[in-house]
């Protein structure tokens, strides 16, 4: 169902994809917003020879400190362990991080920032474009957006779970 606002009242719900309804246009707006924020971050960190994923990982390693294991990084970044392992290999080759054995645990390693990694992270955080973008919202707008996005996320997870109940089950061998 397509809903269009009255003349001069409210947003133009057909602005992004004029031939579909407002719900798909809102989804497109969410997508375009995330893409714009990601592009701004990419442009910022590319100047330092980093990818967005590199900058995110450096920030997380610093934040987790001693508990930054590849498994923890995988969980927090919502990426598969082989993807994190490949990224860590790449970042080690660039001299940004290194994996160290954990005392008393021969299987696990922790990830630590090198001096070069600390310098890259500090430079990336000095002019944090994400904070600048989010700073365009008032505190009230920020809270409202947070609450609305939480509500949409929860509704989407609930809908996905309900849909999954009806999906045909494939026997596993």
Model confidence pLDDT, tens digit, residues 118-141: 999 888 888 888 889 999 999 999
The tens digit of pLDDT for each residue in 106-120 reads 778 899 999 999 999
> What's the pLDDT score for residue 172?
63
d(CA 109, CA 43): 32
d(CA 114, CA 35): 30
CB–CB of 5/12 below 8 Å? yes
What's this model's pTM, rounded to 2 decimal places? 0.72
> What's the pLDDT score for residue 135?
93
How remote is the C-alpha of 165 from its chain's centroid?
Answer: 28
> What's the pLDDT score for residue 19?
84
Q: Nearest Cα to 55, choosing from 13, 105, 97?
A: 97
CA quadruple 142, 143, 147, 153: dihedral sign: positive
Task: Show the tokens assigned to 26.
Answer: 């809102």
> What's the pLDDT score for residue 1?
45
Task: Show the tokens assigned to 21.
Answer: 């309804």
Mark the ranges of the chain whose per-residue pLDDT is less than 70: 1-8, 165-173
CB–CB of 112/65 below 8 Å? no
């Amino acid at each position: 169902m397509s809903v269009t606002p009255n003349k001069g009242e409210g947003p133009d719900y057909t602005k992004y994809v004029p031939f579909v309804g407002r719900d798909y246009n809102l989804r497109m707006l969410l997508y375009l917003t995330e893409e714009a924020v990601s592009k701004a971050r990419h442009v910022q960190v590319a100047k330092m020879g980093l990818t967005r994923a590199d900058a995110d990982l450096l920030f997380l390693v610093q934040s987790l400190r001693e508990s930054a294991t590849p498994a923890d990084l995988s969980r927090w970044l919502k990426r598969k362990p082989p993807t994190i392992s490949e990224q860590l290999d790449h970042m080690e080759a660039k001299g940004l991080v290194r994996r160290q054995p954990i005392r008393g645990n021969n299987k696990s390693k922790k990830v630590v920032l090198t001096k070069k990694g600390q310098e890259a992270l500090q430079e990336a955080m000095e002019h944090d474009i994400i904070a600048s973008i989010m700073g365009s919202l008032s505190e009230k707008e920020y809270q409202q957006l947070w609450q609305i996005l939480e509500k949409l996320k929860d509704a989407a997870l609930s809908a996905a779970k309900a849909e999954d109940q009806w999906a045909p089950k494939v026997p596993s061998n």
